[in-house]
Amino acid sequence: METITNHLPTAELQALDAAHHLHPFSHQGELAEKGARIITRATGVTLTDSEGCEILDAMAGLWCVNVGYGRDEIADVAARQIRELPYYNTFFQTSHVPVIALSAKLAELAPGDLNHVFYAGSGSEANDTNMRMVRVYWAQKGKPDKKIIISRNNAYHGSTMAGASLGGMTPMHEQGGLPIPDVHHIPQPNWYAEGGDTTPEEFGLQRAQELEKAILALGEDKVAAFIAEPVQGAGGVIIPPSTYWPEIQRICDKYEILLIADEVICGFGRTGNWFGSETMGIKPHIMSIAKGLSSGYAPIGGSIVCDEVAEVIAGCEFNHGYTYSGHPVAAAIALENLRILEEENIVDRVRNDTGPYLQKKWKALADHPLVADACIVGMMGAIALSPNKAERAPFDGDSGAVGLICREHCFANNLIMRHVGDRMIISPPLVITKDEIDTLIERATRALDLTLEQIK
Ligand code: PLP
């Protein structure tokens, strides 16, 4: 098939891109100077750019391409669905087969009585839905003042007004006067950066108890829900100490606060179970999903809701929804993606085979002189770079400057790893093979060596 990329040289594509395309989370001026790297194709875990370079994508795009790139089965399903029914909405008492089948499948896969799905186009939209849904839930129960959602510093819940407000990213709050009212943030369970002299277990407990303090300070009758990622992703892959989640669950139960698990990254196998909530042993009332739901082959997200919340919401007309809620093509793609995850035992491989293989190799990076900590759960991992391993000390100067150097060495060495401050993070496609894991680790080690040499 002829496409624009078959015709234009890289420099021209870069110039057009800089002239007309405003990139998300980018400094547009810097990007225009440097020129974007243009990705043209991908299969498995490998991207190809417009210069023909092959790059190992250790981030699965944006933590989403769980079944890997280039799946013909998904392309076929999408083409079939577009021919049969490319669009119809699910408003006003209509439905269609793909959305019905996907909802039943998600109810089967989700733990406990999480049996009902409200669809969105993305993770951010799913969290917007959650914010509105929990308020309607409490209003229906005669408690309209229960509106506050408690979240955490350095959480990521999306980029819409509600998503960015629920998130705890200061640079996002600084642009545009966020958070919106009725969102409250408590400290995160990041022992590496904030644990000081406590043990991880003591620290996990302390940070969970911040939730109880916040509920008591704000008033039990004002707090609607607590939202959190089972493992913080965009915050730098922060795996909470083992004491954290059981205490959070105890507090939510005690005060009857709804627990929203944002599974946008952790869902669909990333942590070695279908959902991160299972890995962390929690029982949320609502789970936000997106990304791995379709492995990024189509934009689709949603909220999986427990029986009780669904029943209460069903008592009124919920005046909320998106044109693309339950889009038939996206739903068909998601269903096919779930079939692949199941039939190829991909979640089980993350738990028992390639996952442990990656974990062993990743943790061994802690022996590198630049690495103070290497942590990983399932197939999401981080290494913390530090000039002083014993003290977990940060670098002098700008936080993130060394991480950026390392990311650039990765990029030049055909490996995509992301940096969050001075943490390097990975979240590869869940289908990565052992040979590809070896390549990932070799390239990461080389990037660390080059970084060390550069900052000496
Ligand atoms: N929630 C979490 C935990 C995420 O990591 C993200 C995106 O990275 C979102 C929500 C927002 O999802 P989207 O970018 O699809 O709006």
Q: Whose alpha carbon is nearest atom 10 of ligand 1?
A: 157
Task: Provide the H-helix boundaries in 110-238.
Answer: 123-140, 161-166, 170-174, 191-194, 200-218
pLDDT, mean of residues 157-180 = 97
155/262 Cα distance (integer angstroms): 10
Contact 389, 365 (CB under 8 A): no
pLDDT at 1 over 60: no
What is the rounded distance in angstroms from the CA atom of residue 182 to the CA atom of residue 259?
16
Weakest-pLDDT range from 6-10, 22-26, 29-33, 264-268: 6-10
Per residue in 325-378, pLDDT tens?
A: 999 999 999 999 999 999 999 999 999 999 999 999 999 999 999 999 999 999
> What is the per-residue pLDDT across 281-304, written as a single tens digit (0 to 9) for each?
999 999 999 999 999 999 999 999
Count of CB atoms situated within 10 Å of the CB of 197: 6
Task: Say yes or no: ipTM exceeds 0.95.
Answer: yes
CA of 367 from ligand 1 middle (Å) equals 32
Cα–Cα distance for residue pair 210/352, rounded to 1 Å: 35
Reply yes or no on whether the pLDDT at 64 is more than 80: yes
Task: Give the residue-averaged pLDDT of 125-140.
Answer: 98
- Please give the number of the atom of ligand 1 that sits closest to the Cα of 121: 15
Rounded alpha-carbon distances, angstroms, from residue 332 to 78, 86, 87, 321, 440: 7, 10, 11, 19, 32
**What confidence tens digit (pLDDT) does each residue in 199-218 have?**
999 999 999 999 999 999 99
The dihedrals phi and psi of 385, each to the nearest 5 degrees, come to -90, 140
User: How much is the pLDDT for 7?
Assistant: 75
Least confident residue range of 51-55, 243-247, 359-363, 390-394 = 390-394
> Over the stretch 255-282, which tens digit does the pLDDT of each residue have?
999 999 999 999 999 999 999 999 999 9
Which pLDDT score is estimated for 345? 98
Ligand 1, atom nearest to 234 Cα = 5
Which string of DSSP letters, residue by residue, matches 5-54? Answer: HHHS-HHHHHHHHHHH-PPTTS-HHHHHHH-PPPEEEEEBTEEEETT--E
What average pLDDT does range 114-133 have in this prediction?
Answer: 98
| 157 CA → ligand 1 middle, Å | 5
| Alpha-carbon span 126 to 304, nearest angstrom | 9
The confidence score (pLDDT) of residue 5 equals 54
Q: Helices 354-364 and 434-455, interaxial angle, to 10°?
A: 20
Mean pLDDT of the 37-60 span: 97
What average pLDDT does range 35-55 have in this prediction? 96
Residue 146: helix, strand or coil by DSSP?
coil
pLDDT at 3: 61
Residue 47 φ then ψ, to 5°: -95, 150
Q: How far is the CA of 12 from the centre of ligand 1 (A)?
A: 32
Task: Tell me how far the alpha carbon of residue 124 lies from the centroid of ligand 1, in angstroms.
Answer: 6
For residue 435 the two structure tokens come to: 């040979």
Q: Among 128, 130, 152, 157, say which to mutate for ligand 1: greatest number of ligand atoms within 8 Å of CB.
A: 157
Quickly state the pLDDT bin for 6 (edges 50, 70, 90): low
The pLDDT assigned to 335 comes to: 98
Q: Which residues line ligand 1 (CB under 6 A)?
A: 62, 122-124, 127, 156-159, 163, 229, 233-234, 262, 264-265, 290, 301
> CA 268 to CA 292: how far, in whole Å?
6
**110 C-alpha to center of ligand 1: Å?**
19
**pLDDT on residue 450:** 98
Atom 1, ligand 1: residue with shortest CA distance: 157
Residue 276 to residue 230: CA distance in whole angstroms? 6
The CA 196 to ligand 1 mean position distance, Å, reads 30
Q: Which of 131, 265, 271 to mutate to test the pocket of ligand 1 (most atoms within 8 A of CB)?
A: 265
Backbone angles phi, psi at 126, to 5 degrees: -60, -40
d(CA 25, CA 171): 11
Distance CA 246, CA 75 (A): 42
Map tokens 């289908």 to a residue: 431
pLDDT tens column, 381-438 = 999 999 998 889 999 988 899 999 999 999 999 999 999 999 999 999 999 999 999 9
Provide the pLDDT confidence category of residue 176 given band limits of 50, 70 and 90. Answer: confident
Helix (H) or strand (E) holding 83: helix 72-84
| Percent with pLDDT over 90 in the chain | 96
Give the whole-angstrom CA distance, residue 337 versus residue 454.
42
b/e for 55-94, b at 16 or more Cβ within 10 A? bbbbbbbbbbbbbbbebeebeebbeebeeeeeeebbeeee
Minimum-distance ligand 1 atom for the alpha carbon of 290: 15
d(CA 280, CA 251): 15
- The overall average pLDDT reported for the chain is 97
